[in-house]
Structure 1
Amino acid sequence: MKLIVAFTFLLFSLAGCATTGSQSPQQAAQSAATLFEQQDFNLIWVPAANNGISGVLASALIGSAGLDSPIVSSIHQMIAPASKVYVRVAISGINSSFTANSAIAALSNTSYMLPKLQLAFIGSNSDAEAVRSAVEAKGGKFLHSTPNGS
């Protein structure tokens, strides 16, 4: 019986980790508006599995899917013009790791520099540094906020 209780507690803990700090698209848009100082931008909302185990698996696989993934392809299409024209885009979603990996995959599948890209990642601090590295490697400007606005 103790094993069942321990397993149930572990399962709820894992599910809670994936959704901690989650926000709505409207809240993400408000955070992005602050980051972009009320300038025009596009928001990409990344849906994802909302539980720990499937969220971790999806996050691990998104990078290998590349542009075959509809999410990665959509992000890629949104950021691609930043090689020539200014693009402000905010990326957020239900699962911070999945959202970060989707953005990184889109940036990794871009063969040219994006000097006119301003990308705001609204997700956890633990995922932000990897997204920052990918954005800055393409010559873009990185902005960040956590789901609670810090």
Structure 2
Amino acid sequence: MGVNLGWAAEQARGTGVRLLIEAQNPHNAPGFVLQGQARAATVVDAAAAEQPVLLFDIYHAHHTEKDLHASLERAWPHVFHVQVADAPERHEPGTGDIDSFRVFAHPEEHKYRGWIGCEYAPADSTTSGLVWRRTPPTAVLSP
């Protein structure tokens, strides 16, 4: 991975393009080379000269980390982008097992001003699937 990351960094140098690294989970992406947030952060650290950053995908982290919130805290210095979907069905926040209130509190507490991407399939329609933006999702499971 280091050679590919180095090559990509060289191609991106001076273009304003930022390299994002995203870990996957073995359930949805068996055999994916980068599984787990700790491994992704290690890759980011090892390639510090190339300035890659971490895309923290809440859905994938939920499947690979023992403590999603502790993992988010450890990874935070490397996080440039956050992506959300609830588990287990990969629907909008507030429809599954992830404590969405706690997840969304973390970027707020750290004064995060970047994007939060939505990578989920709405449980119903696209319009009804966006209601969580106006009304914070309820905590389905407490930590």
TM-score by length of 2: 0.33
Structure with the bigger RCO (C-alpha within 8 Å, sep 6+) is: 1
Structure number with the higher helix fraction is 1
TM-score by length of 1: 0.32
